[in-house]
Amino acid sequence: MRSPLPSLSLAFAALAFLASPNPALAATWDETLASARGDTVYWNAWAGDPRINDYIGWVAEQVRGRFGIDLRHVKVTDTSDVVSRVLAEKAAGKDQGGSVDLVWLNGENFAAMKENKLLYGPFVDRLPNAKLIDTVGKPTTLVDFTIPTDGMEAPWGMAQFVFNYDTGQIAKPPRSAAALLDWTQANPGRFTYPSPPDFIGSTFLKQMLVEVTADPVLLQKPVDDADFDQVTAPLWTFLEKLHPNLARGGESFPASGPALKQMLADGEVAMSLSFHPGEASRDIASGLLPPSIRTFVLERGTIGNTHFVAIPYNANAPDAAAVVADFLLSPEAQLMKQDPAVWGDFTVLDMDRLTPEDRAKFAAVPRGEATLSEEELGTPLLEPHPSWMVRIEREWLRRYGAG
C-alpha cells in the first residue's frame, strides 16, 4: 500500500528554488550541460564494497563519454569526515572552490550538513530525471531520517535492513529480538555485529531499539535528554544479555559490514547483516558467499531508507555535480545498479512513469535466489530521528568501545 506524503513534493521544492535561486546554477539544463563539460567532479563516497566501487567506476566512464565530465571517486570510510571537512572550509571562509563536489550521504550526516547550511540548492527540481522518482510509493525519497530533504539531496537508491543466514546451520531463523537472544544463547559464538559507528553496526542498534522500546513513535522526534535513559534502557538491557553469547565473547567486534560478511563466508558465524536486500544473491553469484545463504527480516519489519547524493554549498563544480546526480537517476543507471550481478540496489524510480521498454527491462532483472520478494520484505520501518543515532553511538562507545 502506498503511503502519500502530502506535506512535501518535488513541486514544492521547485517553488522553493524559484523563491531563492542559487546564482551559481546555470539558468537552463542545456546551459548546465555546457557549463559541466570539461569539469572535474570529486565524488566523496563510501568505498567499503568493491562492487559498489566498480559501479561508481562505470558511472565515471559514462559521464566522461556522454558529458565530458571527469568523475573522481574520493573513497571514504566515514562520511562524517566529509561533513567535518566542508564545515572546516566554511569556518575558514572558503565559500567557493571547495574540495567536495558531490557526496553520498543520508541520516545524521545530512542533518548535520543541513543544520550548518553546508548544502547547495535546492537543486533536485532542476534534474530532468527527477520526474521519474517515486515520491508516493517511496516517500523516504523526500524525507531523510525524518528530516525533509527540501530538494537539497537527490535520491539514488533504496535500502532495507536484512539478516543473511546460513541454512546449513539455521533451520528456522530468529525473527525478533527475543528470538535472536534465545538463539544466541543456544548457539554461542555464532553471531555478532560490527562496532559502531560503522553504519551496519549502528543500524543493528537502531533496529534492536525499535524492537524493544515501549513506544517507537518517540524515536521519530528529536532525542530529549530528559527521557533518553528511560527510552534506551531496554536496548542496553538486551545488549547486556546478548554480548556474552557473541563471537569472541563480545569482547571485540568486527570493524565493518564487509568484515562481518567475511566471517560468514569463513564459517566463523552463521549470520551477517546488510542494508541491501539483494546483496546475498549478488555475493552467491560471485562466489563470495556459499549457495546455502538466504535472507530474512524480522516479523515486525526492518528499517528501510533511501540513500542520496548532495552537493556541498561551496562545490567547485556544482553544475557538473548536478549532471552526475541526474545520470544516477536515469533508467539506464538505475537498471544497471539493480542488477544483482552488479550491485542489487533497488531503484527509486516509479515504474508507472517509465516507458514500456524500460519497464520491461526492470521486470526482466533477476531478483536472485537469496533475495526476498517485496511481499516478504514487507513495509519498511521508519528510521529514527538522526539525533537518536548520535546519542546511541556515543553511549555504546562509552559502554563497550574499550573492548
In terms of domains, do 102 and 193 share one? no
- What does each of the 403 residues of the chain score in pLDDT, given as a tens digit? 233 332 333 333 333 333 333 445 678 999 999 999 999 999 999 998 898 999 999 999 999 999 999 999 999 988 999 999 999 999 999 999 999 999 999 888 999 999 999 999 899 999 999 999 999 888 889 999 889 999 999 999 999 999 999 999 999 999 999 999 999 999 999 999 999 989 899 999 999 999 999 888 899 999 998 899 999 999 999 999 999 999 999 999 999 999 999 999 999 999 999 998 988 998 898 899 999 999 999 999 999 889 999 999 999 999 999 999 999 999 999 999 998 888 888 999 999 999 999 999 999 998 888 999 888 988 888 889 989 988 999 999 999 986 4
Sheet (strand 162-166) strand order:
271-274, 162-166, 293-296
Asked if 299 and 311 sit in the same domain, the reply is no
Residue 201: the pLDDT is 96
- pTM of whole model > 0.85? no
Q: Say if 1 falls within a structural domain.
A: no
Q: How far apart are the C-alpha atoms of 283 and 289, rounded to whole Å?
A: 5
Cell of 373: 520478494
Q: Which three cell numbers stand for residue 323?
A: 549532471
- Do 324 and 203 reside in the same domain of the chain? no
Q: Specify if 350 maps to a domain.
A: yes
**What is residue 273's three-state secondary structure?**
strand
Any domain includes 86: yes
| Domain ranges, residue 342 | 10-157+306-373
Can you tell me whether residue 169 is helix, strand or coil? coil
Instruction: Compute the 3-state secondary structure of the chain and give helix, strand, coil in percent, each to the nearest 5.
Output: 45, 15, 40
CB atoms within 10 A of CB 362: 15
Residue 51 shares a structural domain with residue 166: no
> Do 167 and 261 reside in the same domain of the chain?
yes
- Is residue 5 domain-resident? no
Give the DSSP letter of residue 401. T
Helix axes 257-265, 199-212, angle to 10 degrees: 90
Burial 166-198 (b: 16+ CB within 10 A, else e): beeebeebbeebeebbebbeebeebbbbbbbbb
Domain co-membership, 91 together with 210: no
CB 24: neighbour CB atoms within 10 A?
A: 13
Whether 193 and 284 map to the same domain: the answer is: yes
In a domain, 115, yes or no: yes
Q: Do the Cβ atoms of 110 and 4 come closer than 8 Å?
A: no
Question: Would you say residue 181 lies in a domain?
Answer: yes
Q: What is the CATH number of the domain that holds 101?
A: 3.40.190.10
Is residue 268, in this structure, part of any structural domain at all? yes
Which residues does 233 contact at the CB level (< 8 Å), separation at least 6? none
Co-location of 292 and 260 in the same domain: yes
Task: Tell me the H-state helices in 217-344.
Answer: 228-242, 257-265, 279-285, 318-328, 331-338
The number of distinct structural domains making up the chain is 2
Task: State whether 31 and 125 are in the same domain.
Answer: yes
Q: Is residue 2 part of a domain?
A: no
Tell me, yes or no, whether 179 and 192 share the same domain.
Answer: yes
Residues 131 and 235 grouped into a single domain: no
Are residues 368 and 393 part of one domain? no
